[in-house]
Amino acid sequence: MIQLFFIYYGLPTFGILLNPMTAAVIGLSLNSGAYMSEVIRAAISSVSKGQYEASLCLGYTRPQVYRYVVFPQAFKVALPTLMNYFSTMIKETSLVSVLSIAEITRIGNQIYARTLSPFEIYLTIGAIYFAMTYSVALISKWIEKRTARWTL
């Protein structure tokens, strides 16, 4: 949330004006991108050095080694964590309500201010977020099953 505040409210003091949606995309992307790049780095590092050497001995060029040997193995290692971060990003979109963007949580707050019945509203919002993250989990399981066929 601090990053979003800095990007949307702090950057205008330096002459950089952003609309709320752009600030939200930049803030969430920078935050999640740092974590996801570390996941990808770790997944590539998890491929043993012997795989590289064996591929080079078979006559593969460096780009071929990465395309046919390293990236498929790293993808299988990184997939569960990346899908977890993706579902976390869906939940983090509720933070952009502080930037006056009309998203689910902000609309729920506006409805709550008019109706004064928080239980039903926040239960519905929770159900919507659950449906979105559960669908990501199902897609993740489906992709993991498809990549399991490639296992030796």
Indicate the domain borders of the chain.
2-148
How confident is the model over 35-59, as pLDDT tens digits? 899 999 999 999 999 999 999 999 9
User: Residue range 4-23: average pLDDT?
Assistant: 89
Q: Would you state the structure tokens that stand for residue 63, as one six-digit string?
A: 């780009």
- Distance (Å) of CA 135 to CA 35, 78, 112, 142: 22, 19, 27, 11
The answer on pLDDT for 147 being more than 80 is no
The pLDDT, as a whole number, for residue 135 is 92
Position 143 confidence tier, pLDDT thresholds 50, 70, 90: confident
Choose the CATH number for 2-148 among 1.10.1040.10, 1.10.3720.10, 1.20.1560.10, 3.40.50.10740: 1.10.3720.10
